[in-house]
A and B are shown apart, each in its own frame.
Chain A
Amino acid sequence: MKKLLDATYKSQLWKSVFRHGYPDTPRNRTLAVLSNVFLHLHPVKVRRSGIQLSYTWCMGGLTFFLFLIETITGLLLMFYYRPTAELAYQDIMALREHVPIGIMRELHRWSAHMMVITVWLHMYRVFLTGSYKPPREFNWNVGVILLVITLLLSFTGYLLPWDQLAVWAITVGTNMARATPFLGHEGPGAALISFGGLDFVHAGDDVRFGLLAGRFVGEGALLRFYVLHCVGFPLVAATLMAVHFWRVRKDGGISGPL
């Protein structure tokens, strides 16, 4: 057995991929992190408090992990789903009825719910440990935007099954936009923006209209939400996560008393 392992570690195949032996010596452990693009997100050595579960609650890591699950299951769901008012509901129905042990939709939905919870708890932890204090102010702000994006991801996804639950939840949510000061047709100040008795801000051109591509949640809104959900927001989220992780390291690793 030992021989076999040794032979493996010495083989050209292993070396071409890993460039170091099994990470059980300080040198190899360092190399394991340094020469792997994914592990390289981490520093080689970390403060012990930083990896304590009871300190970080692992919530940032879980949020990221859930994001990955969402990406994979979401990709699979996209194979079966067509974002039109006619087909969307049918496709979900079909997914439910024709796919044996189909749990992709379940995984996607429950993970999405969990991601919202873990991101809140992550923020809670970061606040309670004072980890937003210098030098991490900027990363806290990146985090706040990530929080908003996470909610928007979940919100846009909520519409896609195109059932009563989806459509009305989005209707209730986007109704708020009507009342945006100046920009929504039922918002304070909107009536001021009129010219010669002609209202500039009305139900057919206010922010809600822009959001939904219509006066109510219809096919235009479905397509818009679909594109944002599957492409727009994930790209933004992934980019910001890269910045976020990079900054965690550049700001001196996970916080701890000096």
Chain B
Amino acid sequence: MGDQLKHAVNWLTEPTRYFLGFGLAIVLVLYFRKFFAKSIVIIAFFVLGGAFLAFAWKDPNFAKIIGKPDNVPIVILLATVVFFSWLSLRKSVINDERIARGDPTLEGDFNRQKVFTWPDLVYTEFICLILFTAALVIWSIVLEAPLEEPAATARTPNPSKAPWYFLGLQELLVYFDPWIAGVLLPSFIIVGLCAIPYVDTNPKGNGYYTFNERKFAISFFWVGFVLFWVSFVILGTFLRGPNWSFFGPFEYWDLHKLEPMVSVDLSTYFWVNLLGQPRPDNILLREAPGFAFLGGFFLLLPPLLAKTVCRSMFQQIGMVRYQIMMHMLLWFGLIPLKMLLRWTVGLKYIVGIPEWFFNI
């Protein structure tokens, strides 16, 4: 029974299933939010999660990965993100019902009254602070900060991992070259975050939790933050071992595990497989299919969507905001697109010009 569970978990956490499963879970939670907002759901999650942890801890491979002092924060991250996502969902569901009935929101109800900063706020802050300090001190006494062998630039550890909060980006290196995963996308995340208040013109949902009034915005952030950031950090920390190969949580980190990786460029697919001729020597001609594909993706898709699915949004926010938003979204859309293409047809690069370090 125990072994079967371990096998099942190892099987489930394989990156393709992990990503699709996580994504599916988010869709289901948001869609059936009335159900998932129930208290019993979060209680069940933590009880089952705790039971699983207690069970899994006996496994030496599991304990070795999860129990690394520097990995403790990731467990906290997972627990807090799940809890607060649930909490916000619960409040949203309640507020949406209240709004539908024409009642004030939870927050609005509270706000009829203003309270003194001293003592109400100051005491809350003070209690928070004491509890938090106590927790940190206990944590610090129980777990010693790690210190490995002295630095040696000649000996590369395997795996070499960036600090945990960047592991989501390191995970993207599986699908993209560093200039995209490490430079372009992070920059776009920052720029995109800054642009949010200027692009989102929906006046509703300011200062209270709601889902119905901001369906797109909330779903977008859940997907962006929970799926593409947090879940990737967890994947990168717990499930990537030597050579950045995948290892299930109950698997031994074998240095020699090699994953067969046959991946092919789009240009090869086009010229060799489709047209049955060798790839042309001229770089631009060779990569023309890739450029055409990206051109269509970035230039045709926005107007096409504006006319169809995103019509009302386009009318609401106007041309400039729409273009900015779409181009940001399309860059991030490249991530799942490329993941899917890699998993299904083993695509390496859409445009692959290693001669110029220009691979997409």
Contacts and interface: CB of A to CB of B under 8 A. Distances in A.
Is A bound to B?
yes
Nearest to A133: B206
A144 B111 contact: no
A105 interface: yes
A38 B160 CA distance: 44
Interface stretch (A7-15, A106-114, A230-238, A240-248): A106-114
B31 interface: no
A116 to B, nearest CB: 5
A256 to B, nearest CB: 4
Given A45-B116, A117-B77, A124-B225, A163 B207 contact: no
B151 interface: yes
B108 A110 contact: no
Nearest to A68: B129
B111 A49 contact: yes
A42 B145 contact: no
Contact of A255 (B117, B119, B155, B206): B206
Nearest to A31: B118
Contacts of A164: 148-152, 155, 157
B209 A167 contact: no
A109 B209 contact: no
Interface residues of B, number: 96
Listed residue (B108, B118, B136) with the most chain A CB atoms within 10 angstroms of its CB: B118
Contact of A39 (B106, B117, B120, B152): B117
Nearest to A54: B87
Given A89-B151, A216-B153, A128 B209 contact: yes
A158 B146 CA distance: 11
Interface stretch (B178-186, B264-272, B329-337): B178-186
A23 B118 contact: yes
A48 B110 contact: yes
B84 A57 contact: yes
Listed residue (B73, B92, B207) with the most chain A CB atoms within 10 angstroms of its CB: B207
Contact of B73 (A113, A148, A171): A113
A176 B182 contact: yes
Contacts of A137: 197-198
Chain A interface size, as a band, is 35 or more
A144 B194 contact: yes
Interface stretch (B16-24, B45-53, B163-171): B163-171
Interface string B187-202: 0001001101110101
Contacts of A114: 73, 76, 136
A169 interface: yes
Contact of B145 (A106, A134, A154, A188): A106
Given A48-B111, A257-B107, A163 B149 contact: yes
B160 A168 contact: yes
A239 B350 CA distance: 44
Contact of A117 (B80, B87, B169): B80
B55 interface: no
A108 to B, nearest CB: 8
B129 A65 contact: yes
Contacts of B70: 113, 165
The 10 closest A-B pairs by CB, nearest first: A176-B182, A106-B140, A137-B197, A179-B178, A49-B107, A255-B207, A179-B179, A113-B73, A188-B358, A167-B151
Given A52-B110, A171-B160, 7 more contacts: A48-B114, A128-B88, A132-B196, A162-B150, A163-B149, A165-B148, A184-B179
22 contacts: A46-B121, A48-B114, A54-B87, A65-B132, A103-B140, A106-B141, A107-B137, A107-B140, A110-B145, A121-B80, A132-B197, A140-B193, A141-B194, A154-B163, A163-B149, A167-B153, A179-B357, A180-B179, A181-B183, A187-B179, A187-B357, A257-B107
